Structures are given as C-alpha cells and as structure tokens.
C-alpha cells in the first residue's frame, strides 16, 4: 500500500498519545516536560503532512512558528522548574501539593 496522508496522521496520533500518557503517568517534572515536547512534535508532524498533501505551504509556516514558541516555552518552563527546585528541593509532582484541598 502506498504511503499517504493517513499513514503520517496515524504516526502523529500515536506519538501524541504516547506524550499524553507520559504527562499523565510519569512523576518527574522534567520527564513530563519532555512528554510535552513529544506532543508538540506530533502536532508538527500532522501539520507538515497536511501541508504536503494539500499542496499549500502555510502549514509549514505554522510549524516554523510552533518550533519558535516551543523553544521559548522550554526556556521559561525550565526556569520555573529550577526556581521551584530551589524552594522545595524536589522535582517530583507528588511533592507539590500546596494547591491540594
């Protein structure tokens, strides 16, 4: 079977689900952050394949912006994690319960 749009979308969907499972099941803040990156990358893959199979370049421009925003987001998020670690000496989600009722 010739590889078409649906194959790329399936890969993207599985990648997104893996990232989601990582966010829900892992407890280390940094690994959760990496899973978030996986989810962003899955969206990128879907956008690039849509762009390719619709003969429009706009999807790739959007991916370019997503990569930029993701880089900014990683910088801010990791700074937050470092600040949190300084206060609590832990990067574990189960130790961060100050918003628990």
In the region spanning residues 70 to 99, those forming contacts with another protein, defined by CB under 8 A, are 70-76, 78-83, 85, 87, 91-92, 94
- Residues 18 and 21: their CA atoms lie apart, in Å, by 5
- Residues 51 and 44: their CA atoms lie apart, in Å, by 10
DSSP helix/strand/coil, 82: helix
Q: Which residue has the tokens 């890969």?
A: 11
In the region spanning residues 30 to 69, those forming contacts with another protein, defined by CB under 8 A, are 30-31, 33-35, 37-38, 41, 44-45, 48-58, 60-61, 63-65, 67-69
Cβ at position 36, least distance to another protein in Å: 11
In the bound state with another protein, the residue whose beta carbon lies nearer, of 89 and 99, is 89
């Amino acid at each position: 079977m010739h590889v078409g749009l649906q194959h790329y979308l399936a890969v993207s969907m599985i990648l997104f689900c893996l990232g989601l499972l990582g966010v829900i099941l892992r407890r280390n803040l940094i690994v959760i952050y990496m899973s978030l990156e996986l989810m962003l990358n899955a969206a990128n893959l879907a956008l690039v394949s849509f762009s390719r199979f619709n003969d429009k370049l706009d999807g790739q421009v959007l991916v370019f912006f997503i990569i930029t925003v993701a880089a900014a987001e990683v910088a801010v998020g990791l700074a937050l994690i470092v600040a949190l670690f300084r206060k609590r000496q832990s990067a574990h989600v189960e130790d961060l319960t100050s918003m628990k009722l």
